A and B are shown apart, each in its own frame.
Chain A
Amino acid sequence: MAAARILPVLLLVVSMAAQTGAPQEVEQLEHRLEVQRHLLVDWAGLTHYGSEDTEIPAPKPGENRVVFLGDQITERWGQGQAKFFPDKPYFNRGVTDQTTPQMLVRFRQDVIELQPKVVVIMGGSNDLAGATGPATEGTIAENMMSMTELAKAHGIRVVLASVTPVCDFYKKQTGLRPQGKIIGLNGWIKRYAADSGSVYLNYYAALVEGRDFKKNLTVDGLLPSDAGYEAMAPLAEQAIAQALGRK
């Protein structure tokens, strides 16, 4: 486990920095140490929405409940000016920095238990960045397939979203998430969606120019801006409607 490997090293570094480093450096290292420690005790992020999930009543008859499962790109949706589907029974279950194996572990708690009609799964970007250890298209695919099968077993229709593009206009992003790998992974997601009877939600095509995230649609080359989310929303609605229309 990445956290288990990193933690002792960080502890050593923090201890050395405490003796020799600047206070700011110590503070930063302590923050990193805290993040890793938290990852160790709650690797899947089950505490993020766990309590809130239990307070959500069962869907009303005829309610088209949707859960958006994802990472920071999902979690930040609605935190800025671009609202997260106001007046719709849609639940945001994004957790910043998460990878697909983490989403898989919390799939029962954060998706199945909420009894949605549709789940929109958007993951893989942080896997490509190695956020929880080395990952490949193969490992991401296995997690996506497992989530899809779990959803189907519970009568939940699946929308598989593409990974969004990255660019280096603001800071270097393409090193951690090579643009070619994103294109490759999206190709697999599109094919698997077709094979599994899921709906493919192509955010990528709407946000990209060449291979770059359109500058005006992102705040840092990775995260969508308000305009980016506004471009994504109708696509999501369209995919959800398509999923709901399927038998």
Chain B
Amino acid sequence: MTRGMRTSLGVVAIGLGCILARGADWLTDGGNSQRTAWQKDEKIFSPSSVKDTRLLWKIKLDNQPRQMHSLFPPLIIGRLNTPAGPKQVLIEAGVSDNIYAIDVESGKLLWKKHFISTWTPPPNGGRGGGVLCPGGITATPVVGPTSTPGKYTVYVASWDGMLHQLNAADGEDVAPPSKFMPPNGKPYALNLWHNVLYTHTAQGCGGNPNDVYAYDLTTNKVGSWGPAGGGMWGRTGPAISDNGTMYTGTGDGRWDPADGTYGDGIIGVQQNPKTKALELVDYYGPTNAEWLVKRDLDMQVTPVIFHYQGKELMVDAGKECRLYLMDTDSIGGDDHRTPLYRSPLLCNEDVNFASAGIWGSLASWEDSKGTRWVLTPIWGKPHSQFHAPVEYGPVKYGAIVAFKVEQKDGKWQLTPAWMSRDMNRAEPPVIANGVIFAYGNGEDTEQAYPDSGLDDTAARRIPGSTHAVLYALDAETGKELWSSGDQITSFNHWSGLSLANGRVYIATFDSTLYCFGIKK
């Protein structure tokens, strides 16, 4: 090697080191504990550069889909010290109790961990199988930094209800697996807050109650609390406020706080610092909760929490297709039924419980002028009475709708700003440096059929699904700037996007992980 070559390599290494040193992370589903899905540290994607996005790599993993589930949103560690030096590493969870680590630069597998489930389904125990209870890993893991720079731990809840703590560098256990929750409980994306892991469960899978769980990593104590109503199935798991209150929407069930049941509402649960038990600290029930339960219109969306004009605000939604703006000081006011603002219906005029409404999670960001934005996906056509000032043609299957958080005459409101182009089942977006990435998942989302009623099976829905399409939109106008076209060949169900360092990731039902980005 010549001195010139050595110098060049040195410069490259220093450059790479600099990139890695300042590399952004995406360590949890939704990007952060507040679930804003806003990548604040993005420098490469921009409204002007995003047109150059292309498929950088894809990798087919050996994960076996279960029901409609396959891969979950990836997690990104911007700079991880590995045996081969510092790398940007992606952690991917597969439903069949698999965890994969992938080198972001090369798209090659670094390591894989498969959990051997210690649990076997009882022959007649509870709600087993089917689309709603796929078994396996159902919660996106979470990555936490350690006290050693460049060293990270991956926290995973496996099918048997055990908590695994893995060294992100090699997949080895850093602590023995320990009991987190009952097996087959269908937890949702883990949230790590001040050394406590939070999640919630739904669908009564395995005959388990639908509960909120908190695992205290300092004491290894587990706390739980249940709303005694519907399950909690916000896809991106709970959102956590400044004071450590964990918020989530609740699914079908009666709203009757006097009786201790909190179905079709929103609950705030907090860990007792002394006992580590979970306690209900706030709750909100829509005034039409009776209608919601009658028509199976769950409040099943992960909330988003953000600061604006000196307040900590939260927005949540449900299948009915409304948005609720709340103050985390008291999410439903004195009567627990009065949020700061309740939007009109955005969609779901047919009151369809399966294939319309708002599903998954929301997103929020603040632009350079200090305007606070809230984004929601919608499924199906917009409501005939709902219009945004900027629209991009008829929406039949779904869209992203953007709102500005505003005060008018002293009252808070969400003001419609734009509605995106049509997307086949629009999914929760992510935001980066003035660009919104969103996608239509291409999934057949029907759950009721004229010929077979509620015989909702994967065998029927998988052939009816098409393929996902990823879109980049201008965050301020909603204008389409780029799309993946036909490059993604499969659909996905109950997954999502992740974004860091000029790359956006999407995983599909056929266990393929795609990395789209801008190659410098």
- The answer, yes or no, to whether A196 is at the interface (CB within 8 Å) is no
- The answer, yes or no, to whether B287 is at the interface (CB within 8 Å) is yes
The CA-CA distance from A55 to B351 in the complex, in Å, is 17
Q: Is the CB of A42 within 8 A of B350?
A: yes
A:1-59 near B, CB below 8 Å: 38, 41-42, 47, 50-55
Closest residue to B348 on the A side, CB-wise? Answer: A47
Partner of A50 from the list B289, B295, B349 (CB cut-off 8 Å) is: B295
- The answer, yes or no, to whether B487 is at the interface (CB within 8 Å) is no
The CA-CA distance from A53 to B295 in the complex, in Å, is 13
Closest residue to A37 on the B side, CB-wise? Answer: B350
Shortest CB-to-CB span from A48 to chain B, Å, is 10
- The answer, yes or no, to whether B117 is at the interface (CB within 8 Å) is no
The CA-CA distance from A38 to B384 in the complex, in Å, is 13
Q: Is the CB of B287 within 8 A of A42?
A: no
Q: Is the CB of B350 within 8 A of A55?
A: no
Shortest CB-to-CB span from A39 to chain B, Å, is 11
Q: Is the CB of B289 within 8 A of A42?
A: no
Q: Is the CB of A41 within 8 A of B294?
A: no
Q: Is the CB of B349 within 8 A of A47?
A: yes
Shortest CB-to-CB span from A8 to chain B, Å, is 13
Q: Mark B335-359, 1 if CB is under 8 A from A, else 0.
A: 0000000000000011110000000
The CA-CA distance from A51 to B320 in the complex, in Å, is 10
Q: Is the CB of A55 within 8 A of B288?
A: yes
Contacts between chains A and B (CB distance < 8 A), count:
28
Q: Is the CB of B350 within 8 A of A41?
A: yes
Partner of A47 from the list B287, B288, B289, B351 (CB cut-off 8 Å) is: B351
The CA-CA distance from A41 to B356 in the complex, in Å, is 13
What secondary structure prevails in chain B residues at the interface with A?
loop
Partner of A51 from the list B291, B350, B352 (CB cut-off 8 Å) is: B291
Interface residue tally of chain A, by bracket? 10 to 19
Q: Mark A51-81, 1 if CB is under 8 A from B, else 0.
A: 1111100000000000000000000000000
Q: Is the CB of B351 within 8 A of A42?
A: yes
Partner of A53 from the list B289, B291, B351 (CB cut-off 8 Å) is: B291
The answer to whether residues A55 and B287 also contact, given A50-B294, A50-B295 and a CB cut-off of 8 A, is: yes
Shortest CB-to-CB span from B320 to chain A, Å, is 8
The CA-CA distance from A35 to B290 in the complex, in Å, is 27
Q: Is the CB of B350 within 8 A of A47?
A: yes
Which chain B residues border A55 with CB–CB below 8 Å?
287-288, 291
Of the listed residues B290, B291, B320, B349, the one surrounded by the most CB atoms of chain A closer than 10 A to its CB is B291
Which chain B residues border A38 with CB–CB below 8 Å?
349-350
Closest residue to B297 on the A side, CB-wise? Answer: A51
Shortest CB-to-CB span from A245 to chain B, Å, is 33
Which chain B residues border A47 with CB–CB below 8 Å?
295, 349-351
Which chain B residues border A51 with CB–CB below 8 Å?
288, 291, 320
Shortest CB-to-CB span from B67 to chain A, Å, is 26
The CA-CA distance from A38 to B351 in the complex, in Å, is 10
The CA-CA distance from A109 to B159 in the complex, in Å, is 43
Q: Is the CB of A54 within 8 A of B350?
A: no
B:458-498 near A, CB below 8 Å: none
Q: Is the CB of A50 within 8 A of B350?
A: no
Q: Is the CB of B291 within 8 A of A54?
A: yes
Shortest CB-to-CB span from A65 to chain B, Å, is 18
Give 20 pairs: A residue, B residue, CB < 8 Å, sorted on A. Answer: A38-B349, A38-B350, A42-B350, A42-B351, A47-B295, A47-B350, A47-B351, A50-B291, A50-B294, A50-B295, A50-B351, A51-B288, A51-B320, A53-B291, A54-B288, A54-B289, A54-B290, A54-B294, A55-B287, A55-B288
Chain B residues proximal to chain A, CB less than 8 Å: 287-291, 294-295, 320, 349-352
